[in-house]
């Protein structure tokens, strides 16, 4: 009995030593370093990623942070959990069994501890979180996830895109989020002044521009546009006690307001030439035009539909209504680099999907109320576009 007990002690000591060696690797073991790129950006960490048994081991906390995932450590059972969206993986140090979305699965590589940090096989992490992974043997860099697409937008353009405190909101911001969900692409918004949007697209600083960009022939020569997702049109504004079915011809001989220097103002100048008895009153700000109609200073106004619709959804108690149909409209689309057919197709397919499944209508009504009626001529032009 004494001999058996004496033999058992060194066996256990050897086992503990081997387990410690395999699970808590010393820094010297991690000399075959590798680089880590997450969503197109290099990630620096200490310890650095390394190769063990032809598997790339990456620091779980830094990797999760770069992915925008949540990570937690359970010291009691020596496990690390990573959650991203609806996907979750729990890995146990030194164990080839993992929990993926609650399912127990066996993997080929086990997590280890190096210098007090959990290192996990990148392939296991990628498969669990449904992320693409690639290995660049020449530069010894493993890439996890895809680089986010960058959308250039001028964030001073309510209700399309603007800042509300620290949050970026707007019709087109919600549209981008819907496109992300359908396309599976991550899209980040970069604030760029309007006059620099097209140069930033040509230089490759951004992958697309979405900022109320109207589709005109001159622009189509230098960029490609998606299918239209919005129509910039003009509409008549009156008080609520007026007719709800007016046309511009019905305003002949009346006193009409518009914003000075605006496209509706130009239309009224032409209208006045053909209807000399019509009085046109111009205001510097669009808000002043709305006020003039509500106060009765004019009988009606010709205004851009989008900002007026947004104003009315935020001021439902005002005595104003849009009447008649939208006319003189120009379609807006997302612009991409000339010849980028892959991105163009992906965006078009996503736009088509959100229009069919009702997502687009919900976003539109959130910012502008019910979709407007267009003149038959405008509706036909939109179909052709």
Sign, CA dihedral 296-297-299-301, equals: negative
Given this model, what pLDDT does residue 238 score? 97
Report the pLDDT value the prediction gives residue 374, as an integer from 0 to 100. Answer: 56
The fourth-level CATH superfamily of domain 26-144 is Copper amine oxidase-like, N-terminal domain (3.30.457.10)
At residue 28, the pLDDT reads 41
Burial of 290 (0-12, 13-18, 19+ CB in 10 A): buried
Q: Which residues of the chain have pLDDT under 70?
A: 1-31, 372-385
Same fold, 26-144 and 149-229+333-384: no
Do the strands 24-25 and 112-114 form a parallel or antiparallel pair, or are they unpaired?
A: parallel
- For residue 225, give the H/E element and its range: strand 223-225
| The pLDDT value given to residue 373 | 63
**Domain range summary for the chain, segments of one domain joined by +:** 26-144, 149-229+333-384, 232-330
The helix (H) or strand (E) run that includes residue 255 is strand 255-259
Tens digit of each residue's pLDDT (9 = 90 or more) over 297-342:
999 999 999 999 999 999 999 999 999 988 888 899 999 999 999 9
pLDDT value of residue 27: 42
**Spatial separation of the C-alpha atoms in residues 249 and 269, rounded to whole Å:** 14
Residue 231 pLDDT? 87
Q: What is the pLDDT of residue 198?
A: 94
Q: What is the pLDDT of residue 91?
A: 96
Peptide bond before residue 308 is cis, with ω within 30 degrees of 0? no
Which DSSP string corresponds to 140-192? TEEEESPPPEEEEE-SEETTTEEEETTEEESHHHHHHHHHHHHH---EEEEE-
Would you state the pLDDT for residue 372?
Answer: 67
Pick the CATH number of 149-229+333-384 from 3.40.50.1980, 3.40.190.10, 3.50.50.60, 3.30.420.300: 3.40.190.10
**Candidate CATH numbers 3.40.190.10, 3.20.20.70, 3.40.50.12280, 3.90.245.10; the one for domain 232-330:** 3.40.190.10
CB 292 within 8 A of CB 301: yes
């Amino acid at each position: 009995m004494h001999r058996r007990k004496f033999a058992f002690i060194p066996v256990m000591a050897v086992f503990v030593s081997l387990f410690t060696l395999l699970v808590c690797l010393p820094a010297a073991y991690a000399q075959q370093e590798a680089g880590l790129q997450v969503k197109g950006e290099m990630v620096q960490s200490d310890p650095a990623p390394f190769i063990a048994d032809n598997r790339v081991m990456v620091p779980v906390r830094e990797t999760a942070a770069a992915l925008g995932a949540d990570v937690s450590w359970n010291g009691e059972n020596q496990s690390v959990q990573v959650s991203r969206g609806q996907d979750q993986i729990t890995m146990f140090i030194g164990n080839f069994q993992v929990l993926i979305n609650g399912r127990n699965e066996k993997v080929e590589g086990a997590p280890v501890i190096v210098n007090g940090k959990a290192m996990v096989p990148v392939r296991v992490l990628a498969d669990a979180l449904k992320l693409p992974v690639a290995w660049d043997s020449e530069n010894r860099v493993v890439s996890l996830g895809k680089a986010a697409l960058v959308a250039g937008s001028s964030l001073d353009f309510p209700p399309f895109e603007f800042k509300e405190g620290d949050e970026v909101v707007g019709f087109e911001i919600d549209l981008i989020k819907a496109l992300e969900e359908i396309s599976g692409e991550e899209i980040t918004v970069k604030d760029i002044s309007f006059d620099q949007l097209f140069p930033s697209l040509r230089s490759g600083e951004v992958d697309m521009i979405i900022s109320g960009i109207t589709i005109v022939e001159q622009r189509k020569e230098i960029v490609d546009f998606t299918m239209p997702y919005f129509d910039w049109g003009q509409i008549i504004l009156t008080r609520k006690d007026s007719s709800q079915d007016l046309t511009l011809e019905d305003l002949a001989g009346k006193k009409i307001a518009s914003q000075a220097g605006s496209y509706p103002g130009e239309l009224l100048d032409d209208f006045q030439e053909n209807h000399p008895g019509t009085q046109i009153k111009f205001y510097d700000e669009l808000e002043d035009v709305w006020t003039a109609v509500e106060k009765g200073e004019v009988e009606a106004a010709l205004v851009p539909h989008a900002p007026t619709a947004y104003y009315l959804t935020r001021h439902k108690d005002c005595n104003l209504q849009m009447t008649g149909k939208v006319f003189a409209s120009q379609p807006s689309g997302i612009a991409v680099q000339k010849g980028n057919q892959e991105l163009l197709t992906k965006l078009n397919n996503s736009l088509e999907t959100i229009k069919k499944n009702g997502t687009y209508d919900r976003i539109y009504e959130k910012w502008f109320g019910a979709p407007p009626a267009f003149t038959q001529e405008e509706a036909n032009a939109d179909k052709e576009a």
